[in-house]
Amino acid sequence: MRFDTLIRNGMIVTATDTYAGDVGIHNGKITATGAGLPAENAGRVIEARGRYVMPGGIDVHTHLDMPFGGTTSSDDFETGTVAAAFGGTTTLIDFAIQYKGQTLRHAFDTWMKKADGKATIDYAFHCIITDISGAQLQEMKSLVGEGVPTFKLFMAYPGVFMLDDASIFKAMGSAADSGGMICMHAENGGAIDVIVQRALAEGKRAPKYHALTRPTTAEAEATSRAIALAEMAGAPVYIVHLSCNEALEKVREARDRGLRAYAETCPQYLYLSLDDMNGPGFDGAKYVFTPPLREKWHQEKLWQGLAKDDLQVVSTDHCPFCFKEQKEMGKDDFTKIPNGGPGIEHRLSLVFNGGVHGKRFSLNRFVQLVSTAPAKLFGLYPRKGTVAAGSDADLVIFDPDEEQTISAKTHHMRVDYSMFEGTRVKGVPKVVLSRGRVVVENGKFMGKPGSGEFLRRQNPARI
Ligand code: URP
Ligand code: ZN
Ligand code: ZN
């Protein structure tokens, strides 16, 4: 047995097991795990005593280099993937947007170009569909066959991304036929628009009104409708960025009935609340994203949802806009603030800190939420999402006891503020490997732009 790299004396953690052992790597793959693997001929030995060795994080919801709200998200595929790697994420799934009148193929080709030569970790795409008036239902099936089996639809943002129920139902039918899955932005965009117009007419223009005009009922109603449409179409549905207890209850009910209904939440909904929107001046704009922040009590409901498998995944919905110049576009009108927040870098630490140190769930559940379930649901398992012979050597050597304070002064995302500024978390990725190459070590980035590969995905598994 000869290894290019041997990770020695770690505590290997997967979604099901925790055991002391070594991990041998050859040609970018894990070739052996177990105690006492031979170190003599290893190209490099990495000591992992006192640390966890876990599969690299998989972030299934990012928006890099995305035109939105009259500007473009501030991280591109280079800066965004570097920041992801620092945080222990080794695979991401971004969104290729089909604009009205365009083919899905055009969207996919456009986003492939954005990532090419820049991505430092492996990546894949979902396709956002905003118009199915042409041949897109047929195209969906072709894309599924080419490794793009998931499609995001919007029930919000009327006039921009929103689809009507008939279109959603048709797209779900196409996904059902081909084994694909719909990822749904579930908010009742029509009702929200009326509430927004009313607020503007009353002169309510500050950032906090972005949140106050998007009630939890609008999210719960759309979640319930998305699940009902999927049930009628015989398709699985995955609710993205679920933010509140009312929507969570809809997912729980559906799952209790045995439906293939899944949902993710994001660290911002677990750590932040409406209170954060009451900061001085225009500061609330830092937290303008959709669905918005909720009252604080929802946080614990979401943590419990993660613990009980009512929620299956934590993603970031990373969609960064700089406070200066980008968020400031909405200084006099909250509807002009570009929607989105930066989060790609700290997902693992935040979930580990609140989940495992917070004693809400086990270490194995943590791995499942940030890596294994995303890999299975999005057709990447077992290539990604576990530590086993044959899997890609995407690995994180994680110190469970080291503490860090999150700050824009030290983060690697290309954005001038942090949503979690000053938050102290316990649990830090120390060494990160992407297909056997060390990409982060000793606080330094060691990877290179263009070394990330596009991943053709299988169809979503039933979990
Ligand atoms: O505000 C958000 N979430 N921006 C990104 C786009 C989306 O809806 O996911
Ligand atoms: Zn969305
Ligand atoms: Zn998003």
Closest CA to 53 of 462, 429, 426: 429
Q: H or E segment at 208? A: helix 208-212
Beta-sheet pairing, 18-26 with 52-55 = unpaired
Q: What is the pLDDT of residues 227-265, one digit of tens each?
A: 999 999 999 999 999 999 999 999 999 999 999 999 999
Query: What is the C-alpha separation between 215 and 268, in angstroms, rounded?
Result: 17
The alpha carbon of 172 and the centre of ligand 2 are apart by a number of angstroms equal to: 17
- The ranges of the chain annotated as CATH 2.30.40.10 are 3-54+387-418+427-445
Instruction: Tell me the pLDDT band of 279, cut-offs 50, 70 and 90.
Output: confident
- Whose atoms come closest to the Cα of 339: which ligand? 1
What integer is the mean pLDDT of 347-374?
A: 98
Q: What is the structure's pLDDT at 97?
A: 98
Partners of 238 in beta bridges: 183, 262
**CATH code assigned to 3-54+387-418+427-445:** 2.30.40.10
What pTM value is reported for the model? 0.98
Cβ 289 under 6 angstroms from ligand 1: yes
Q: Where are the beta strands (DSSP E) in 375-419?
A: 395-405
- Of all protein residues, the one whose alpha carbon is nearest to atom 6 of ligand 1 is 340
Taking the CA of residue 43 as centre, how many other CA atoms within 13 Å lie in the half-sphere pointing to its CB? 11
Which of the listed residues 241, 265, 286, 321 should we mutate to test ligand 1's pocket, taking the one with most ligand atoms within 8 A of CB? 241
Q: H or E segment at 142? A: helix 136-145
- Of all protein residues, the one whose alpha carbon is nearest to atom 5 of ligand 1 is 340
Cβ 63 under 6 angstroms from ligand 1: yes
Question: Which atom of ligand 1 sits closest to the CA of residue 152?
Answer: 9
Cβ 185 under 6 angstroms from ligand 1: yes
DSSP 162: B
Q: What is the pLDDT of residues 47-87, one digit of tens each?
A: 999 999 999 999 999 999 999 999 999 999 999 999 999 99
Cβ 339 under 6 angstroms from ligand 1: yes
Instruction: Tell me the pLDDT band of 416, cut-offs 50, 70 and 90.
Output: very high
Comparing 395 with 1, the larger pLDDT belongs to 395
CA angle 308, 309, 313 (to 5 degrees): 130
Residues, Cβ < 5 Å to ion ligand 2: 185
- Of all protein residues, the one whose alpha carbon is nearest to atom 4 of ligand 1 is 340
| Alpha-carbon distance values, 209 to 173, 213, 278, 332, 404 (Å) | 37, 6, 10, 12, 33
- AA identity, residue 361: F
The alpha carbon of 347 and the centre of ligand 2 are apart by a number of angstroms equal to: 18
Taken in order 254, 260, 261, 266, is the CA torsion positive or negative?
A: positive
Cβ 436 under 6 angstroms from ligand 1: no
The alpha carbon of 127 and the centre of ligand 3 are apart by a number of angstroms equal to: 12
The alpha carbon of 61 and the centre of ligand 3 are apart by a number of angstroms equal to: 6
Q: What is the structure's pLDDT at 268?
A: 99
Fold held by 57-377: TIM Barrel (3.20.20)
- Whose atoms come closest to the Cα of 289: which ligand? 1
- The ranges of the chain annotated as CATH 3.20.20.140 are 57-377
Give the helix ranges, DSSP H, for 257-391.
Answer: 267-271, 297-307, 347-351, 363-367, 373-377
Q: What is the mean pLDDT of the chain?
A: 98
Cβ 319 under 6 angstroms from ligand 1: yes
> How many CB atoms within 10 Å of residue 114?
17
